Amino acid sequence: MTLMIQPVILCGGAGTRLWPESRGDRAKQFLSLTGEQSLFRQTLARTPAGSDFLPPIILCGDSHVATVREQMDDREAELVVEPMPRNTAAAIALAVARADADTLLLVMPSDHVIADVPAFHAAIAKGARLAQQDWLVTFGITPDAPETGFGYIAGGGPLGEDGFAVDRFIEKPPLADAEAMLAAGGYSWNAGIFLFRAARMRDAMLTHCRAIFEAADRAVAAGMRDGDALYADAVEFEKAPSDSIDYAVMEKDDRVAVVPVAMGWSDLGSWQAVHTLAACDAIGNAATGDVFLHDSHGNLIRAGGKRVSLIGMSDIAVVVDGDDILIMPLKRCQDVRAAAKARE
Amino acid sequence: MTLMIQPVILCGGAGTRLWPESRGDRAKQFLSLTGEQSLFRQTLARTPAGSDFLPPIILCGDSHVATVREQMDDREAELVVEPMPRNTAAAIALAVARADADTLLLVMPSDHVIADVPAFHAAIAKGARLAQQDWLVTFGITPDAPETGFGYIAGGGPLGEDGFAVDRFIEKPPLADAEAMLAAGGYSWNAGIFLFRAARMRDAMLTHCRAIFEAADRAVAAGMRDGDALYADAVEFEKAPSDSIDYAVMEKDDRVAVVPVAMGWSDLGSWQAVHTLAACDAIGNAATGDVFLHDSHGNLIRAGGKRVSLIGMSDIAVVVDGDDILIMPLKRCQDVRAAAKARE
């Protein structure tokens, strides 16, 4: 890779799918779920400063600024603070408004896992070539299961050896459709990772979602600088319609490319996903903290400073955080919001 | 009942079957497991001071004296402190050594539940008539299930309308034997509740387990009084062989009677037993403390000051005590010792 690419790290999410650890100001991206480092730190480490990557633009909410600063570990970056959540299109518009026209922006969620970073970098190199040809590039995860929790991307004609023109985006499918796509091949999961020339995205936004870009652009112009942070202007930014970049731009544009990549990606979208990625003992237990297990297998236990003892339990999640103790079968972890809503 | 009966409350047990709530100095009898009052307070309340009952003799270990005093709630009693645990025969021998010869002693564990106190009192009246005729009386719980966790008593010839001569004691039986006894009738569970004249038990002990009685008798004589408490002498008491009253006396004596009684008795010998007796919601959940339940039924949850959330869990016990969190299927609760042993 000879081009310089500027990472844009989307760090505005909160989310309760990993409640009780993820809640309030302690968002999922700041948690250490797959080892020592938080997901945010892992995301930063994936685009090391130096010959390939420029200092990143980090987009986050006001309540996350302190944690972002702490977890940046003195790495140079520009913080852009969203006064309120306005979804990914407006967040990316803030970065586009800040960036130089010809910079290639690599947009990444801050709360995903990528196990195979060299594969990611190889995909970035491919994507960069396409982005220079004014493709809006999305990275498509090669599916290994008929997941119904992700959107899918149907690849069209090949673009040399770098990727494919996107035929269409498919919303989270029913299981039968997911199975059919897995069997057919040529489909990818939409992981929300994008690469494009800043000016190209600016033009696309002005075409497809002008109100969003203009609000973000004015919010940057009227923003307040505090050291390395730019606080976008609230009055202006609030005018931005709330929409995802997928809906607002990618699905509408006719020059979108997908670079398929198998890189050990996970969005860690549930405690079950955390269990799947965690280091387990020989009988499938992933235990963090002071855990006693007797005749128990396939469990995820995060003891959170307490002492958890399991007898004869299988395939459950136990997550302790402060005074909260969550217990559920791993396969029921999509229902965690029920508890989060009742408790918060 | 016209006779005066002196309760002897055995409060020396510790036990880990209800770990983590029951442990160390906080023994099961001091816990509130079936309502507001501790089992010890319920035991005291079952033999109210007044026309029927003399002030009780309370036997406990040194580490339990403070809790016993607190939970006596200013009720008059004599504390007899065991310097070390020596099982029930030696404990009862201490009480016998203290009591007047013709007093009827009613020996009761302090960690059981009796729901139907009038039925208990009616049985005591029957037992008192037999005890005056120098029977060693045991109260037999009418079985309602083929329990394998209790000893059984085989009734023999009737003793008027008050009870039966005991034919024999049967140790905890295999399930097939328990089922056969339940079907046959005439068998009772041995609940460890006894009634006898003090002098009659003294003589029985001198016959069947002289070393135990003599050690206890000397430990009382050499004991140290501190207010309402008599601290039995450690050097003497230590000489008492450790044996249960069942083995040491009841199974050997040839004038033992059983008074069958159905009184809603439970030894609360497991978290499952606690669940069985607890007030449950319509779908079988017994929750104490701050508990959120979603699609969960048949659970026992004791939140212990924490906030417990269950999603899609059934028929488990969750017991929180301090920093300890125990999770197991209710039907596995006999295995709680595995955790208790590892943790304590």
pLDDT digits (tens, 9 = 90+) for A227-286: 889 999 999 999 999 999 999 999 999 999 999 999 999 999 899 999 999 989 999 999
Strand, helix or coil at B220? helix
| pLDDT at B141 > cutoff 70 | yes
Query: Do the Cβ atoms of B2 and B75 come closer than 8 Å?
Result: no
- pLDDT band of A95, cuts 50, 70, 90: very high
Average pLDDT taken over every residue of chain B: 94
Kind of pairing, strands B224-226 and B163-170?
A: unpaired
**Contact residues for B165 (Cβ-Cβ < 8 A; gap 6+):** B155, B156, B157, B158, B159, B255, B256, B257, B258
Q: Which of B 44-63 lie inside 8 A of A, CB atoms? A: none
Neighbours of A338 (CB within 10 A): 20
Set of chain A residues whose Cβ sits within 8 Å of the Cβ of B17: none
B73-87 per-position pLDDT tens digit? 989 999 999 999 999
Q: Convert A298-317 to b/e letters by CB count within 10 Å (16 or more is b).
A: ebbbbbbebbbbbbbbbbbb
Residue A212 is predicted with a pLDDT of 98
Set of chain A residues whose Cβ sits within 8 Å of the Cβ of B294: 335, 338-339, 342
Helix (H) or strand (E) holding B124: helix B117-132
| pLDDT at A4 > cutoff 80 | yes
CA distance B186 to B70: 41
| pLDDT at A136 > cutoff 80 | yes
| pLDDT at B128 > cutoff 50 | yes
Q: How far is CA B116 from CA A184, B146, B187, in A?
A: 70, 21, 20
- pLDDT band of B96, cuts 50, 70, 90: very high
The verdict on whether omega for the bond into residue A173 sits within 30 degrees of 0, i.e. cis, is no
Binary contact (B292, A325; C-beta < 8 A)? no
Query: Do the Cβ atoms of B257 and B197 come closer than 8 Å?
Result: no
CATH architecture label of A5-266: Alpha-Beta Complex (3.90)
| pLDDT at A1 > cutoff 50 | no
Set of chain A residues whose Cβ sits within 8 Å of the Cβ of B338: 294, 311
Residue A26 is predicted with a pLDDT of 84
| pLDDT at B264 > cutoff 80 | yes
- pLDDT band of B1, cuts 50, 70, 90: very low
CATH 3.90.550.10 domain position(s) in chain A: 5-266
Residue A3 is predicted with a pLDDT of 65
Q: What is the ipTM of this complex?
A: 0.86
CA distance B61 to B12: 5
Please give, rounded to a whole number of angstroms, the shortest distance from the CA of B41 to a CA of chain A.
30
- What's the mean pLDDT in B164-181? 95
Chain A interface disruption, residue of B271, B297, B311, most A CBs within 10 A: B311
Tokens of A154: 């149907």
Query: Do the Cβ atoms of A305 and A296 come closer than 8 Å?
Result: no
- What's the mean pLDDT in B44-65? 92
| pLDDT at A329 > cutoff 50 | yes
Set of chain B residues whose Cβ sits within 8 Å of the Cβ of A308: 325, 327
- What's the mean pLDDT in A300-305? 96
- What's the mean pLDDT in B298-320? 97
pLDDT > 90 fraction of chain A, expressed in percent and rounded:
89
- What's the mean pLDDT in B103-128? 96
Using alpha carbons, select from B165, B251, B169 the residue that is nearest to residue B209.
Answer: B251
B100-113 per-position pLDDT tens digit? 999 999 999 999 99
A313 → closest Cβ in B309, B312, B328: B328
pLDDT > 90 fraction of chain B, expressed in percent and rounded:
89
| pLDDT at B3 > cutoff 70 | no
| pLDDT at A341 > cutoff 80 | yes
- What's the mean pLDDT in B283-312? 97
Query: Do the Cβ atoms of B281 and B292 come closer than 8 Å?
Result: no
Average pLDDT taken over every residue of chain A: 94
Residue B169 is predicted with a pLDDT of 95
- What's the mean pLDDT in B193-212? 98
DSSP A128-191: HHHHHTTPEEEEEEPPSS--SSS-EEEEEEEETTTEEEEEEEE-S--HHHHHHHHHH--EEEEE
A17-48 per-position pLDDT tens digit? 999 999 877 899 999 988 889 999 999 999 98
Q: Convert A117-135 to b/e letters by CB count within 10 Å (16 or more is b).
A: eeebbebbbbbbbbbeeeb
